[in-house]
Structure 1
Amino acid sequence: MSLLRAATRRGKRTLIAAVCAVTIAAGTGGWAAGSAQTAVTGPPPGAAAWRADHSLGVPLPDPATAQPARVARFFAALTGAQRHLLAARHPLTVGNLGGAPIALRYEANSRALAAERDRQLARASDPAGTLQDHQAARKAAARCAGLLAPGRQILAFDPRGRGQIAEVHGDLTAARRTAVVVPGSDIDLATFDRAKDPYGTPTGMARALRGRMAADAPGTRTAVIAWAGYTTPVGLGPDAATGRLAEAGAPRLTRFLSGLAADRIPAPALLCHSYGSVVCGLAAPHLGRTLRDLVVFGSPGMRVDSAAALHTGARVWAARNATDWIGNVPNVELFGLGHGEDPTDPAFGARRVSAVRADGHTGYLAPGTDSLRNFAAIALGRYAAVS
C-alpha cells in the first residue's frame, strides 16, 4: 500500500510539473533562445602552445587528458627554475592544471589575471570599440585588479565566456580540514564576490564558512575553496530547469577535486548550493575518495531518486529553510525539465540538516544561522554537533 501511495504521489507531482512546463512555455511563446548559455568545456586557452613546447626536452602532460596524479609526478621531477619558467610561458595552462603545485598555480594565475587586466584596459581605449564596449572592458579590468589584491589566492582562472574562477581561503597545503563551495545560478567572474547579497556568492559563503570553522576549532588548520569553475545558468530560464550545463560542469568539478587529491589535500566536504547541487549530483558517482561529505542546500534536486543512487561513499546531507522559494518548485524530472526528488525529503535518504534560522534562498551561510553552524561542524568532522 505504501508503494502505491508513493507512486500516486510521484504521478501527481509529474502532472503538476507537466502543467507548469506547458504554462511557462505557452506564456512566453516558448523558451527564449537568448537566455541559453554556451558551456565552457575542455582545457583553458593556451593548451595548444603548451603541447607544442619542447623546451624542456620532454613532452609536457596534455592538459586535456593527463590525469592529475601524472601531472603531479611531472612537476615533482622538475627543478624550481623549470617550474617557474613554465608558469611564466603558459600561465593559463599551469594555473588550471590539476596536480600542479598549489603555490605555482597561484603564481600562474596572478600572471594570467594581470595579462587579462591589461588586455581589457587596451580594449577600454580602443577607438574601434563603442562606449558600451569601453565601459564593459573597464569593469572587467577592475574585476581582474581586485582579484590581484595582496593576499588573494587564485587556484583557477579561465577568462572564456563569462569567466570562471576558484579562490582559496586559508592555507590549503597545511590544512587538516577542507571544504569546497559550489554555487548555483548567476555566478561568474563578475558576480563571484559581489557586494550585493554577499552570502549568495562563492566568496561570501567560503569566507563565512571558514570563519565559523576557525571560531569553532581554533586549533585546527582549515581551508575553504570557492569554486565557480563551470558555466552557470542565468536567471530562471531553460538552463536552470535542465541538466545541460550541469552535465558540462560535472566533469570539470571531478577533475578539480582529483587535482586536489593529487596534491595530497585532505578530502573536502563539498557544499553545493541551488543549481550547484545538480552539478554535484552528476559528479558524485565519479568522485571516489576525493570526497568526504556532500552537503546540498536550497537544492532543486540532484537528478537521482535517492541518496543511494548517487553511488558515493561520502555522507550525504541536505538542508532547506521554510522561506526558500526553491521549495515551491516541483521535484520531478519530465522531458528533461526538472531535477528529480527533493533531497530534504526523508524518503530520499540524506541526513537532514537544520536551517531554521536561514532566510530565503541565499541566506544559508549568513552569520548567526544554524545552517552555517551545522555546515561548519560537518566540514570539521564533528558530526555529533550537527542538528
Structure 2
Amino acid sequence: MRRFARTLVTAALATAVVAGTAGWASAGSQSAVTGPPPGSAAWRADTVSGRPLPDPARATPSEVARFFAALDDSLALGLVRSHPLVAGNLDGAPLALRYEANRLAVLATGEPRFASLAAPGRQILAFDPRGRGTVAEVFGDLGRAAHVSVVVPGSDNDATTYDRPRAAYTGPAGMARSLRSATGEAAAVIAWTGYTTPVGVGLDTARGRLAEAGAVRLARFTDGLDAVGAPDPVLFCHSYGSVVCGLAARHTDATDIVAFGSPGMRAGSVARLHTDARVWAARGPDDWISDVPNVEFAGLGHGADPTSAAFGARRIPAADVAGHTGYFTPGTQSLKAFASIAAGAGR
C-alpha cells in the first residue's frame, strides 16, 4: 500500500510539473555533451619540443596556463593550427589563442549552421560541434576587464540557434550585449552556452540530469577564467540555467550569483548552496515560470523558489519586466540592478 501511495504522489508531481510549465511539448531526451573535445586523442599523442601536451581530460586550468606560459608564440600557434578544437576548448589557455583556434575550428567544420561564428572580430572562447553544439562568446576585452560576468542561459539554446534572429535583448548573446552596454567599457560579459540544454518542455526540463553535467562544465570554465587572470565572475543564470548555477555554486569562485526567471536551484535555501557568493533573485510579474510548482521529489522539480523570503536571496526589483525573457530590456529595473551587481557595487 505504501509503495502504491508513493507511485501516486510521484505521478501527481510529474503531472504538476508538466502542467505548470505551460503544457507538454513533445521533446526527445537530450544526451549531454561531456568530456574533452574531438581530437583529444591526436593532441595527447603529440608533443612540443619533446614535452607532452596537457591532457584535456585531466590537466587543471592552472596546469594548462603554466604549460602555455613556457611556450614561445610560434610553438603555441603551431598547436592551435594543428589541434584547433582542443586548443579552443582548453580552459587555462591564452585568450587570443583560443579565439584563433575556435575561428579555425568553426571553418574546419564546413557547416553553414556554424559559419557566422567565424566572422571577423568575434571572440569565440569555446566551440564544440558535437550534438547541437556548444559555444561561448566574449563581449569586451576579457584580458583587461575590471569586471567579468557570465550569462548562463536556459532551454533551447545551443550553437545552432546561437546566431538565429531573436527578439532584442533575449537569448544568451542579446543578454550579454545588453549587460555590457549597461555596465560599461571596463566590463566584459561572456555568453556561455557551454552545456547541453533541454529542448522544449518535457522531462528534461523537470529533471536535473542535464544541469548536473552542465554544472561540471561551468565550474571548470570559471576555473579557466581564474587561471588566465580574469576577475572573479558574476553569474547571471536564466531559467534552467539557474539550476546549473545552483549545482555549480559551491565549485566556483563567483562573487555573485543572480537567478532570474528561475524554476529553482536544487537547494532549499541560500545556505544550502554552500557558496560565499552573494545570491540574488528576480522574477517578473507575468513570467510564466511562476506557474511551475517549486517542488523536488523523486528527481522531478528543482526545489524552492529563489525569490521567496524563506530561500534567503537578495531580491532584485523586476516589476517592469515583460514575460520570461525581458530582464535585460534597456530601461528596466532589473537591467539597472544587474549592471550595478556586475560592476561590483556593494562588495
TM-score, reference length from structure 2? 0.93
1:20 to partner: Cα distance? 4.7
Q: For 1:159-204, what per-residue CA distance to the aligned partner results, in whole angstroms no more than 9, with x for missing partners?
A: 0000000000000001001100000000011222322234331000
Q: Which has the larger radius of gyration?
A: 1
Q: Is the 2:93–2:228 contact (alpha carbons within 8 Å) kept by the matching residues of 1? A: yes
Match of 1:146 in 2: 116
1:104 — aligned with what?
A: 97
Q: Which runs of 5+ in 1 are unaligned?
A: 1-14, 121-140, 215-219
Q: What are structure 2's unaligned runs of at least 5 residues?
A: 1-7
Q: Find the counterpart in structure 1 of residue 139 from structure 2.
A: 169
Mapped partners of 2:261, 2:55: distance in 1: 37
Q: Is 1:192 equivalent to 2:174 in the alignment? A: no
* Counterpart check, 1:300 vs 2:263: yes
- Shift of residue 383 of structure 1? 3.6
Partners of 2:177 and 2:25 in 1: how far apart? 36
CA contact (8 A) 1:191 1:201 kept: no
Which amino acid is the alignment partner of residue 161 of structure 1? G
2:138 partner amino acid: V
Match of 1:366 among 316, 320, 329: 329
Distance 1:207 1:40 in 2: 26
Distance 1:16 1:199, change over 3 A: farther
Structure 1 segment 92-241 matched on structure 2, within 5 A: 92-116=85-109, 118=110, 120=111, 141=112, 143-214=113-184, 221-241=186-206
Judging changes above 3 Å, is the alpha-carbon distance between structure 1 residues 260 and 23 closer, same or farther for their aligned structure 2 residues? closer
1:55 & 1:187 partners in 2: Cα distance?
A: 37
User: Is the CA contact 2:27–2:201 (under 8 Å) kept in the aligned structure 1?
Assistant: no
C-alpha contact (below 8 Å) 2:25/2:201 kept by paired residues: no
Return the offset for 1:25: 8.0
Alignment partner of 1:71 is 2:59:
no
Q: Deviations over 1:282-302 (max 9, x none)?
A: 001111xx2111000000000
Measured on the aligned residues, the alpha-carbon RMSD in Å equals: 1.9
Q: Distance in 1 between matches of 2:315 and 2:18?
A: 34
Assess, with a 3 A threshold, how the Cα gap between structure 1 residues 326 and 81 changes in structure 2: closer, same or farther. Answer: same
- The answer as to whether partners of 1:247 and 1:279 remain within 8 angstroms in 2 is yes
| 1:304-343 → structure 2 map (5 Å cutoff) | 304-343=267-306
Percent identity, aligned pairs only, is 62
Matched AA of 2:266? R
C-alpha distance in structure 2 between counterparts of 1:349 and 1:16, whole Å? 28
In the other structure, the counterpart of 1:279 is 244
Which has the bigger relative contact order, CA under 8 A and spacing at least 6?
2
TM-superposed deviation, 1:16: 8.9
Q: TM-score by structure 1 length?
A: 0.83
For 2:170 and 2:207, locate their aligned partners in 1 and report how far apart those are by CA, in whole Å.
21
Return the offset for 1:307.
0.4
Q: How does 1:35-114 map to 2 (within 5 A)?
A: 35-114=28-107
- Post-superposition offset of 1:17: 8.2
Q: In structure 2, how many angstroms separate the alpha carbons of the residues matched to 1:325 and 1:355?
A: 14
- SS of the counterpart of 2:101? helix
Change (3 A) 1:196 1:34: closer
Q: Secondary structure at the match of 1:256?
A: helix
In structure 2, relative to structure 1, the CA distance for the partners of 1:186 and 1:252 (3 Å cut) is same
